[in-house]
């Protein structure tokens, strides 16, 4: 009687060592490639359905202000009143000229409304559309595009305040002010990954939605919206100046400055653009990984 030699560890009888593990690696790599492709296809397919999310975003605004005469202009009026009140208050507190403080605050409020809208509404972008996700066979990104389109429309309405501001406080704009357009494009691109990532995470962990809302309120005070960052950094008091420099670690500072500076005709700093571009790349890498892994589970979590 003869005994067959033992099979090599990690392989099969009659096969080279490691062939079994190689087959396993190929088998696991194929689904990973498919999941990446499906994640990308979701974004592309959602973008191709522009008529759908464009109509839904416009209907959101019409439904919200269905019986209102001024419609979304009420948001603009409310924001303008708050910005003027805080601009007058902080101009007196810091001893700044009203022609400097008030435009700074007004533009800050316009940009902040877009940023906070993407973060706040992004945290429940999927849970708020539970019925559509369950019954409408559409890519997940459709709901994110819908949110972004709605925020862009609000931003356009709020620009009325920016135009009126020029009547009272003319700004010296130059060709460099045109960089406000690519700056806003970067805001939209980052708003997309923020809403998509937060939407996936908060759909799985519902307690994160109210936490996100609280963090947004806190960031309003930590971001130079109503107080002028350069004044505090250049303060003669060393303690105040050193504390003000800590705001550089707040990523929203850089997003705010790349668009507010050109809108006010102020000089721009390269470091703000570098930080924003780095955050854009890193944010989309993390978001695409989350979309690859959990895209198919969102419909079960909502």
pLDDT of residue 1: 43
pLDDT of residue 119: 93
The residue segments making up the domain with residue 60 are 53-301
3-state secondary structure 50-112: HHHHHHHHHHHHHHHCCCCCCCCHHHHHHHHHHHHHHHHHHHHHHCCCHHHHHHHHHHHHHHH
DSSP 1: -
Q: What is the mean pLDDT of each run of 10 residues along the chain (302 residues)?
A: 43 42 46 73 89 86 70 76 88 84 92 93 88 82 92 89 86 88 96 94 89 91 87 79 84 93 90 95 94 86 82
pLDDT of residue 164: 87
Residue 13 maps to a domain: no
pLDDT at 90: 86
Is residue 27 a part of any domain in this protein?
A: no
Return the residue matching tokens 């190689």: 22
Whether residue 256 contacts residue 111, with contact meaning beta carbons closer than 8 Å, is answered with yes
Say if 146 falls within a structural domain: yes
Residue 1 lies in a domain: no
Output the pLDDT for position 200.
Answer: 93
pLDDT at 24: 47
pLDDT at residue 230, as a whole number: 83
In a domain, residue 85? The reply is yes
Q: Which pLDDT score, from 0 to 100, does residue 20 have? A: 46
Identify the sign of the CA torsion 240, 245, 251, 254: positive
With respect to residue 227, please indicate whether it lies within any of the assigned structural domains: yes
The 10 Å CB-count burial string (b at 16+, else e) for 130-169 is: eeebeeeebbbbbbbbbbbbbbbbbbebbeebbeebeeeb
Contacts from 56-61 at CB under 8 Å and sequence distance 24+? Answer: 56/146, 57/145, 57/146, 57/147, 57/149, 57/150, 57/153, 58/149, 58/153, 60/146, 60/150, 61/150, 61/153, 61/154
Coil, helix or strand at residue 13? coil
Q: Is residue 34 part of a domain?
A: no
| Residue 138 within any structural domain of the chain | yes
Total of domains in the chain: 1
Q: What is the pLDDT of residue 59?
A: 84
* pLDDT for the residue 253: 92
């Amino acid at each position: 009687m003869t005994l067959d030699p033992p099979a090599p560890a990690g392989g099969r009888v009659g096969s080279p060592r490691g062939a079994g593990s190689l087959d396993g690696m190929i088998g696991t790599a194929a689904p990973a490639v498919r999941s990446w492709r499906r994640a990308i296809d979701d974004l592309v397919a959602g973008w191709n359905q522009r008529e759908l999310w464009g109509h839904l975003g416009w209907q959101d605004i019409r439904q919200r202000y269905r019986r209102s005469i001024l419609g979304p202009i009420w948001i603009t009026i409310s924001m303008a009143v708050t910005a003027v009140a805080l601009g007058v208050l902080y101009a007196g507190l810091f001893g700044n000229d009203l022609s400097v403080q008030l435009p700074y605050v007004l533009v800050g409020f316009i940009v902040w409304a877009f940023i906070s809208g993407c973060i706040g509404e992004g945290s429940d972008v999927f849970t708020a559309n539970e019925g559509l996700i369950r019954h409408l066979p559409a890519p997940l990104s459709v709901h994110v595009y819908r949110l972004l389109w709605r925020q862009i429309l609000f931003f356009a309405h709020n620009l009325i305040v920016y135009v009126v501001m020029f009547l009272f406080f003319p700004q010296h704009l130059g060709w460099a002010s045109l960089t406000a357009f690519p700056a806003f494009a970067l805001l939209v691109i980052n708003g997309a990954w923020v809403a998509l990532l937060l939407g996936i995470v908060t759909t799985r962990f519902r307690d994160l939605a109210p936490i996100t809302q609280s963090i947004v309120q806190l960031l309003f005070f930590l971001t130079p919206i109503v107080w002028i960052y350069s004044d505090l950094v250049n303060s003669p008091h060393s303690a105040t100046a050193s504390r003000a420099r800590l705001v550089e670690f707040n990523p929203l500072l850089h997003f705010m400055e790349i668009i507010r500076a050109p809108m006010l005709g102020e000089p721009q700093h390269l470091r703000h653009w570098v930080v924003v571009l780095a955050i854009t790349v890193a944010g989309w890498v993390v978001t695409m990984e989350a979309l690859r892994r959990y895209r198919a589970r969102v419909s079960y979590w909502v």
